[in-house]
A and B are shown apart, each in its own frame.
Chain A
Amino acid sequence: MSSAHFEYVQRLGDNALILGQRLSAWCGHSPFLEEDIAMANTALDLIGRARMLYTHAAQLEGSDRDEDALAYGRDERQFGNFLICELPNGDYAFTLLRQYLVDVYHHQLFLALGTSSDPTLAAIAAKAVKETAYHVRRSGDWVVRLGDGTQQSHSRCQLALDELWAYTGELFAGDGIDQAMAAQGIGVDPAQLAPAWSETVANQLKQATLQQPRDEWQAGGGRAGLHTEHMGHLLAELQFMQRAYPGLKW
């Protein structure tokens, strides 16, 4: 086991946990009951995925840390999630647009990781890809419904998309860990996922009558632990109980 292997699996878990935490905040606040349930269920899938990935990462590390230590016991700089996952929810258009862009990415990523030479990672990916197929269908439906909806819903979607676009480049900007893992057949070079992602997203945006933003400046730094100003606040809420009462059990 290399530390790159541990880092690779851990940050896959970070993306799932942080996005799951964001989505959880809609529980009880979504526009109607069915959506509230759908949002909470998607969040549950993501948090469940984070638990499996953290448990696997902890086993790879071989220390006495467990899934909870990785979720609750690390500081901001030690999280390697994409910045897009930690952005505040904004309005429903922003949350769903973000979800769609990340869902399509996750679907392709886990499809590819299904053949990982790490059998546990391959098994987690095989589960995740089936669930993500549902996530994509739901978020994609909403992107079309809201984008091609009323003038109000359309303009909010367009605003959300314009803001989110600068955070999509990071999804495909691999670093040394990605390269090393791809070379060993454990991971995937994210750059390889870009063409299929771009094609799928472009088609959906067209159907939603949304204007795809131009590729300009792209934010980055999440993988290296350089987060937005929102991340610390998110962790404060996520980790408070375990920080205040270490080892507290439900």
Chain B
Amino acid sequence: MVVASAPPDTLAPSVQAVRAVLDAVCDPEIPILTIADLGVLRDVRIAAGCVTVVITPTYSGCPAMHAIDQDIRAALAAAGYGEVRIETELAPAWSTDQMSAAAHAKLRSVGIAPPAHGAHDKRALLGRKVPCPRCASLETERISEFGSTACKALYRCRSCLEPFDYFKCL
């Protein structure tokens, strides 16, 4: 027997299905990373047909957060979810340690040095040798504390001479 697929407006939400939809929501400034990769997506809850998505801000003033909020709503609306709430959770504070290993590999693939693990360690937070994402040389230097976005710093490799972004450890 063939079961007709439910029309979008009667879609019964499941957490797994919602997460699959959210896997297509990317950071607007580093679009290779999904919000799950980044650790911005904290939780998905469903109660009485209403989907609640819990997110956490990266930096206090990150302008991408507003865009991420809108992108989540748009993605879920397009997938047929009618009632969506977005909650912002501040504690525990977002840390680059919450980024997945897959996220690190993705960053490297586009020439961004991933954050050093161990944000609780002040030495990691405040500068340790950052390997060049292109040639892996440790002969790198910081050009500026802030790069193209709040979450990145600008570095230069002294071996291959390429400048690169470093996703700061926070």
Contacts and interface: CB of A to CB of B under 8 A. Distances in A.
Given A123-B93, A133-B125, A133-B126, A37 B60 contact: no
Given A37-B147, A41-B150, A44-B150, A134 B168 contact: yes
A124 B94 CA distance: 11
Interface string B94-116: 11000000000000000000000
A224 interface: no
Interface in B71-103: 90-95
Given A38-B145, A38-B146, A138-B145, A131 B91 contact: no
Contact of A46 (B61, B62, B122, B147): B61
A127 B61 contact: no
B63 A44 contact: yes
B148 A37 contact: yes
A42 B125 CA distance: 17
Interface in A117-166: 119-120, 122-124, 126-128, 130-131, 133-134, 137-138, 141
Contacts of A120: 90
B143 interface: yes
B59 A34 contact: no
A49 interface: yes
Interface residues of B, number: 28
Contacts of B62: 44, 48
Contacts of B22: none
A60 interface: no
B154 interface: yes
A170 B63 CA distance: 32
A69 interface: no
Nearest to A134: B145
A231 interface: no
B170 interface: yes
Nearest to B91: A123
Contact of A49 (B60, B147, B149): B60
Interface string A34-53: 11011001111111110110
A38 B146 CA distance: 5
B22 to A, nearest CB: 23
B60 A119 contact: no
Given A41-B150, A131-B59, A122 B91 contact: yes
A236 B85 CA distance: 36
B59 A45 contact: yes
Interface of B: 57, 59-63, 90-95, 119, 122, 125-127, 143-150, 154, 168, 170
Q: Which 4 A-B pairs have the closest CB atoms?
A: A48-B61, A48-B60, A44-B61, A123-B91
Given A20-B61, A37-B144, A130-B119, 19 more contacts: A37-B147, A37-B148, A41-B146, A44-B62, A45-B59, A45-B60, A48-B59, A49-B61, A123-B93, A124-B90, A126-B92, A126-B93, A127-B57, A127-B93, A131-B59, A133-B122, A133-B126, A134-B145, A134-B168
